[in-house]
Structure 1
C-alpha cells in the first residue's frame, strides 16, 4: 500500500516538475490521503493465518454485519479437497463448512451462514478432507 502511494506521489511530482510554468499552482495541487480502514473495513473480528500441516499465511476478517469472511493476501499449498471451516479447535471436531477453498493465493470472500456464533466458531480452518488435517488456521479476535 505504501509503495502504491509513493509511486502515485512520485508521478504527481514528475508531472508538476515538467510543467513549463516557473511557479507551481498551489490551488490546483491535490493531497492524497489514504485511509487504511476503508480497505479492510471496520471489521469486528480479525486474525492472521498460522501454518500447521502446510505453510499458510494471510489475514482474515469478518464483515461488520457478520455475513462475510474476507481473506486478504492469503497463501497456502495446493492439496486435495481443501475446505474452509469455521471451527472450535484445530482438529475440526465441531465446524461450520463454508465451502471449497477458492484458491491457494489471493483475496477471497466466503458467506457466513445466518445464526453462526463467531464467539464459538472462532477459528478459520483450511481443512484437507482426504487426510483429515489442517493446512493452517486463523483465530478470530476482536
Structure 2
C-alpha cells in the first residue's frame, strides 16, 4: 500500500512539473510571437513608409514613432507611450498648437503599437504634425513631425 501512495505522489509531482514547464513554454512562445510581430512592424515601417517622425514630449512625457504607410491610408504608432489624461485625441495639425487640425479620434491607448485610419486625400505636407491632444484642457501632451 505504501508503494502505491509513493507512486501516486511521484506521479502527481511529475504532472505538476510538466504542467509548469508547459505553461512556461506557452508564455515563452507568446513573447516570441509578440517580438516577431513588433520586428515585422518595424521592418514594414522602415521599408514602406514615406513619412515618419519621433514623438517629442510636450506637457507630458511622450515617446515612440509615428509613420504613414506609402498609400497614405494608415498612421502607425510604434513603441508609443504617453500619460493618461482626460479626453485625449490624436490630431493631424499644421503646428503644435492645433490652430488647424483634423481629428483622428480618441486615443486608442497610451502604451503600445496602434494604427489610425487616415482620411482620403489628406494633405500630409500641410497636416504634418501628429499631436496627442488633451481636448479638456487644450494641451499638447506630445507630438511628432512627419518628414
TM-score (norm 2): 0.70
Matched, 1:39 2:44: yes
Matched, 1:64 2:59: no
Structure 1: stretches of 5+ with no match in the other structure: 1-33
Matched, 1:50 2:50: no
Question: Which of these residues, 86, 91, 94, is aligned with residue 85 of structure 1?
Answer: 91
C-alpha displacement of 1:42 = 1.6
SS at 2:85's partner residue?
coil
SS at 1:44's partner residue?
strand
- Hey, what does 1:106 align to over in structure 2? 112
Work out which of the two has the higher radius of gyration on C-alpha atoms and give 1 or 2. 2
Distance between the aligned counterparts of 2:90 and 2:42, measured in 1?
25
Q: Which structure dedicates a bigger proportion of its chain to helix?
A: 2
Structure 2: stretches of 5+ with no match in the other structure: 1-38
Please list the CA deviations of residues 2-43 of structure 1 after superposition, one character each: whole Å capped at 9, or x if unmatched. Answer: xxxxxxxxxxxxxxxxxxxxxxxxxxxxxxxx8887332420
Question: Which of these residues, 112, 130, 133, is aligned with residue 136 of structure 2?
Answer: 130
- Hey, what does 1:94 align to over in structure 2? 100
Give the 5 Å matches for 1:10-29.
none
Distance between the aligned counterparts of 1:106 and 1:62, measured in 2?
17
SS at 2:44's partner residue?
helix
- Hey, what does 2:29 align to over in structure 1? none
Question: Residues 38 and 65 (structure 1 numbering): CA distance in 2 closer, same or farther, change over 3 Å?
Answer: same
SS at 1:38's partner residue?
helix
**2:42–2:78 contact (8 Å) kept in structure 1:** no
